[in-house]
Amino acid sequence: MLLLLLLLSPETALACRYNVRDVGFVDLETETYHLYGFIRPETPADTVSLLRQLPAAALRDCNIQVEIVNAAGPTNHPALKHLSRGIADSLPTAVLVSPDGQALPLTLSRPGQSFHDSLASALGEVASSVKREEILRTTSQAFAGVLLVEGDSADGNERARQAISRAIEAIRTQMQSMPKAVAEPPAMIVLEAAALLQERILLWSLGLEATRTALPRAVVLYGRARWIGPVMKGEEISEPNLTGLLSIIGADCECGLDVAWTLGTRLPVRWEEARHAQVAKALGFDPENPLVKVEVSRIAGRFSSSRAPSVSYQELALSADPTPTAGDAPAVGSLESKNGSGGTPPGRPAAETVPLLATSPVLSRALISLAALAAVSVSAGLFLYWRLGRGRPK
């Protein structure tokens, strides 16, 4: 027993507490969207009052911070770089800025509406949408969600649906062997081509335009509406690529996997207390607990690879052999930034990730320890047998 205790280190003896999906529900408060409202000194007082009060109420429980900026104030304010001449001519106005720095101008004054109604309508569009709510419902209850943005090609849409369905089925068959049980397998979420304009905030947060395209596009989402991996389009939406990303979500986060890059980017969503309580009960821990946040921060910062604060629009360059190999997830190719800012995608590309069933360092050490214990037990048995044999009368 003493030998066993010496062989089994505390890291080996203790099971991993979190998987990647668990970590996806923890808000480390490093991925906030910013809504900047711009005013002038001559902006009417009642308009300024509305800009200070309505956003705070409309964006409550959203991962969006609101700040009112005087366009005639200090020129070194970081928000002013997003105020172009055309936007400045229509003050008061607002700009929504994502964690990776892309900006979306918002129209606060609409024909035939009061400023109050126009502002409330714009804020409602920013805070939530039908498809973002569906994404939250899916990722809160299921293993993950795969968002399919349909294109104009019916054949392409059907091929993408079949690939997503096969990947979901592949993960469903693996769920029993995963480190932590999840009630429901991944689910497909479809955004029809006719509804693109209604989901322009969602598409913008993914680095996409709300315009129709010939090819379908797909992204993998999990946890608190986090986007992991690149945007796939056309034939890039394949079972191996999708299975590779989905497998990572079920992996232990403390068993040799670099979790930092898997955190992805959160979409702009409303995370209400009722949903939080439901998720905390299902997870078995409170993602908002400060001790949990400290632990997840330690896990995410344990590895030396750097991580940019967000994921910009990415394009897959498919590898020739997307088959999973030991120590690597199914190769989904190199990532090429499309936002023009030279931003770095998270940590390391998906081609360098670890598959769900790959042997972890902890498991390896446990197996070595058990093998050593078995060898000691066999040796002791042989020694006792030999001694007993020598002591027998001839």
pLDDT in tens, 223-269: 999 999 899 999 999 999 999 999 989 887 655 556 566 677 889 99
Residue 243's DSSP bridge partners are none
pTM of the model: 0.72
Contacts of 6 by beta carbon, 8 Å cutoff, 6+ apart: none
Give the pLDDT score at 221: 97
Q: How many CA atoms lie within 13 A of 367 on its CB side?
A: 6
Give the pLDDT score at 9: 40
Measured between alpha carbons, how far is 136 from 202 in angstroms, rounded to an integer?
12
3-state helix, strand, coil in the chain (%, to 5): 45, 15, 40
Measured between alpha carbons, how far is 300 from 261 in angstroms, rounded to an integer?
8
Q: In 10 A of CB 189, how many CB atoms?
A: 21
Measured between alpha carbons, how far is 163 from 283 in angstroms, rounded to an integer?
29
Give the pLDDT score at 135: 97
Give the pLDDT score at 380: 66
Which residues of the chain have a pLDDT value below 70? 1-16, 85-89, 253-262, 301-394
Give the pLDDT score at 253: 67
Measured between alpha carbons, how far is 352 from 217 in angstroms, rounded to an integer?
22
